Amino acid sequence: MAEVSLRGVRKSYGATEIIHGVSCDIADGELVVVVGPSGCGKSTLLRLVAGLEEISAGEIAIGGKVVNAVEPKDRDIAMVFQNYALYPHMTVRDNMAYGLKIRGLPRAEIEARVKRAAGILQLDAMLDRKPRQLSGGQRQRVAMGRAIVRDPRVFLFDEPLSNLDAQLRVQMRVEIKRLQQSLGTTSIYVTHDQVEAMTLADRLVVMHSGIAEQIGPPLELYERPATVFVAGFIGSPAMNLLPAAAAESGIALGDGTLLALSANGGGVVAGRPLTLGIRPEHLAAGGDGAALRVTVELAEMLGADTVIHGRLGDGSLLQARLPGAARARAGEILPLAVDPRLIHLFDRETGRRI
């Protein structure tokens, strides 16, 4: 196994810079998930690690060795793609063994590796089938098996679950996490799905427009997002981000609501324009502490909880995730309580956490 180090990694196409100096150290055996919206540079970053794209500046090291000029085949990595990339005319066994045959490994060793990987992925009974005879989840397991048999130092996953339905994605997510923990192989996993990212990662790298906005454990990013972008991206439903301003006795929202915060929200100068963040699950219905009055537009009853969509007096959108089957009709005024300890404040100009 091996650690992976990215030091000031940049990628440009002509005068257009796509990756803006990303630095991150990935420990031996760690699973790091690179997450962000489409076009943020996450797949490009993965391709730079794989050697499929040429780095413009900075260094990428695998196992302490700088690999900027090393060919992909010599980096000792294995990649799992979104579209499986299986040979349709080959059996599962031959698909998994093909890369080892190209490398000239002895037949007995190839068979042993394929058998071991098939056992791990529960593919023993499918080794003589062709890809067309498999479900989407089984094909993805074959693609993972092809990576496992190589016994690489680093696994690279490029949105491997995007083509699967929702239920199968959950199942495969569990399998990938269990597999990575049992093999202990350093892994970099790219996805745009923040739920997938939160559940899989030892650490997250949140990308935005080619910049690593924040790097850290999933719960740290959830509890203390460093920027407005991270706050709005991590969490489902997304964090409410409301225009506000510091006042002498607390924080004033756009509709005139005054939230009394201890120490004036951390000693912010009165009048300073802010963005106030509060997660939907941190709002509570009614009660003596109700501070917000929301006009309900839609109530999504999900069984275990209900997501309320509404607006404050200034027109700002707000979502609340309330436990159980909360009864709320469109047009109804719903009072919501805010716990001051769970509020996040950001500078409106820079977007950085205060």
Across all residues in the chain, what is the average pLDDT? 91
CA atoms of 3 and 27, how far apart (whole Å): 5
Q: What is the largest CA-CA distance in the chain?
A: 77
Counts of helices then strands in the chain (DSSP H, E): 9, 20
| 4-76+153-233: CATH, from 3.40.50.300, 3.40.47.10, 1.20.272.10, 1.25.40.10 | 3.40.50.300
For the chain, residues classed under CATH 2.40.50.140 are 240-347
CA dihedral 151, 8, 205, 26 (to 10 degrees): 40
pLDDT band at 137 (very low <50, low <70, confident <90, very high): confident
What confidence tier does 111 reach under pLDDT thresholds 50, 70, 90? Answer: very high
Which strand (E) or helix (H) includes residue 18? Answer: strand 16-26
Per-residue pLDDT reduced to its tens digit, 199-253: 999 999 999 999 999 999 999 999 999 999 999 999 989 999 999 998 877 888 9
Instruction: Give the pLDDT of residue 288.
Output: 62
Q: What CATH class has 240-347?
A: mainly beta
d(CA 174, CA 199): 9
Upstream peptide bond of 72 is cis (omega within 30 degrees of 0)? no
Confidence at residue 289, expressed as pLDDT on a 0 to 100 scale: 61
- Please write the tens of the pLDDT for every residue from 27-43: 999 999 999 999 999 99
Domain with CATH 3.40.50.300 in the chain: 4-76+153-233
